A and B are shown apart, each in its own frame.
Chain A
Amino acid sequence: SQQGEEDPQALSIQEGENATMNCSYKTSINNLQWYRQNSGRGLVHLILIRSNEREKHSGRLRVTLDTSKKSSSLLITASRAADTASYFCATDAAGGFKTIFGAGTRLFVKA
């Protein structure tokens, strides 16, 4: 079974709006990462948040982590058509070497 589960599965918004994607996981973690995948391409790392951090920013990206609820959210502000992609959260089981991905959220930004 997958460690991370994203919600929603798909999201369609207008350019300029904010997009929020959520990730829930099952076991305790050391870190949580978010990746982006353009259609037909490999995944690209966006941001890493450690288990002792609650919020992290990178450009138009804002990630939050709530370890008590075993959940994280990725907010993309002022979205652009170029943000259209699938977004995945990735976690490890604490102390493990494996990185486990969720099923992803497909984001479509309409120009």
Chain B
Amino acid sequence: NAGVTQTPKFRVLKTGQSMTLLCAQDMNHEYMYWYRQDPGMGLRLIHYSVGEGTTAKGEVPDGYNVSRLKKQNFLLGLESAAPSQTSVYFCASSETGGSTGELFFGEGSRLTVL
């Protein structure tokens, strides 16, 4: 039972490079989220999706794009990476939205931008 799987787990980029983080969940959840976690800042919501084909902005969306073409996948893209995007990125999914349901998290993707 995989739950939420994030790839890659580690990545080092140079400023200006692009990349995509993939999140896959096998629980048939409608809601999916991307968070970033920085020291002392807790988790901040980047983008989220309330169902296949939908996306919405969270607290810190600038510099990121997302897509939810398939219900089980939620992609986070960085078009032109900046050092400020060095962080640990977490994907989560839930059966219901808001805080009505438990969020299931992936193990994180550690991104370093040089």
Contact = CB atoms under 8 A, between A and B. Distances in A.
B108 A41 contact: yes
Nearest to B101: A48
B50 A43 contact: no
Contacts of A29: 99
Interface in A92-106: 92, 95-104
B56 A99 contact: no
Nearest to A97: B97
Given A41-B107, A100-B59, A92 B42 contact: no
Nearest to A95: B98
Given A43-B90, A44-B105, A99-B33, A88 B42 contact: yes
Nearest to B90: A42
B35 interface: yes
Contacts of A42: 4, 90, 105-108
Given A41-B107, A43-B90, A43-B103, A101 B98 contact: no
B45 A99 contact: yes
Contacts of B56: 97
A48 B99 contact: yes
Interface string A84-96: 0000101110011
A3 to B, nearest CB: 9
Contacts of B44: 2, 101
B58 A98 contact: yes
Given A43-B105, A45-B104, A97-B98, 18 more contacts: A29-B99, A30-B98, A31-B99, A42-B106, A43-B90, A43-B103, A44-B105, A45-B103, A92-B100, A96-B97, A97-B97, A98-B45, A98-B98, A99-B103, A101-B35, A101-B42, A101-B43, A101-B44
Interface of B: 4, 31, 33, 35, 40-45, 48, 50, 56, 58-59, 90, 92, 94, 97-100, 102-108
